[in-house]
Amino acid sequence: MDYFPVAQLVLDSWKILIKGIAQLLHVIPVYACTECSEVHDCLGATSAKRRSFHSWIKGSVNVVLVPIEAYHLYDPFGRRIKHETRFQYDRIPAVVEPCIQAGVEIPEYPSRQRTKPIRMIGRKVIDRGGLIEEPQPGISANPSSLIDLNTHGACGRFPPPPPSDIPKIAQETMDAYETVKLGVTKLMDKYTVKACGYCSEVHVGPWGHNAKLCGEFKHQWRDGKHGWQDATVDEVFPPNYIWHVEDPKGPPLKGGALKKFYGKAPAVVEVCLQAGAQIPEKYKPMMRLDIVVPESEEAQLVA
């Protein structure tokens, strides 16, 4: 299978996805809690003072598209990243790195393209075609090409869309989201991606890096090293699940007994739905679109 067309489609759809979410956030309000990452009762450090209510602020594109970055490697089978050499490598969106390894050319992020297969016995590389020095990155003809790949500050780069274009943008964004997820899944069948079993770090390559940056549970026992294992697509391109709001202009969602009647969906899906897009059938059961939320006093009577 030729993975280059898949990689090119993923990269193009990733740009459309960032642009679409940035435009929709001008018209669809999205909020994030400053104290935690939960979607209902707040579990942050000061939650007791707020009786578990969230501390809301206006969200950015990074709230909808969770930023997951990985080190860019010129040769994934070359020298392994050490803790002392980690600053010699660029960090780029994790969905972009498999595209580069599949052959998509980005002058700022060169990649070694082999014409002969690598010979391995188990995990030991017998023939990698020699180690070569990474070339100096070229000068991009379009300086904004790298900015289009990054979610940071995207809302400031794209103005609010005309009201008549909102449904179209929402549908294009929804389609781009599905394309990116499907394409990354296909690329991961060819290009190995590792994820830490303790934190959100991912690494695109046959082995994980040796940077001692894991600060999760009992990291002292591991000297800060990551616990590498085969990654899933949700670790490389994670969905940020949020509660589905049936009526955005209605009263806010209530907690307690009513919480079990609410559905959830990835934030991208919820934003596109509120903007007028048709969502895929697979999301409708988890959003519980066919359930009528009872009143607070009626919830006690529901089995």
Residue whose token pair is 């007028």: 276
pLDDT of residue 228: 95
Give the integer Cα–Cα distance in Å for 53 and 281.
32
The answer to whether residue 285 is domain-embedded is: yes
Q: Which pLDDT belongs to residue 256?
A: 66
Residue 219 in any domain: the answer is no
pLDDT reported for residue 115: 73
Is 248 part of any domain? Answer: yes
The string of DSSP codes covering 170-188 is HHHHHHHHHHHHHHHHHHH
Give me the number of domains the chain comprises. 1
Asked if residue 209 belongs to a domain, the reply is no
Averaged pLDDT, groups of 10, the chain, 303 residues long:
92 96 94 75 66 79 93 89 93 95 90 79 73 65 72 91 96 98 96 94 93 90 93 95 82 72 90 94 87 64 57
Q: Is residue 207 part of a domain?
A: no
Helix (H) or strand (E) holding 202: strand 202-204
* Alpha helices, H only, 92-238: 97-101, 154-157, 166-190, 233-236
According to the model, what pLDDT value does residue 48 have? 67
Whether 183 is covered by a domain: the verdict is: yes
Residue 120, strand partner residues: 125
- pLDDT (0 to 100) of residue 39: 61
Q: How far apart are CA 275 and CA 278, in angstroms?
A: 10
What the block records as the tokens of 49 is: 């003072």
Q: Is residue 146 part of a domain?
A: yes
Residue 198 is given by DSSP the state S
Q: Which residues neighbour 201 within 8 Å (Cβ) at sequence distance 6 or greater?
A: 195, 213, 214, 226
Residue keyed to tokens 């008549």: 164
Give the structural domain span for 292: 4-80+88-191+236-299
- pTM to 2 decimal places: 0.88
Does 215 fall in a domain?
A: no
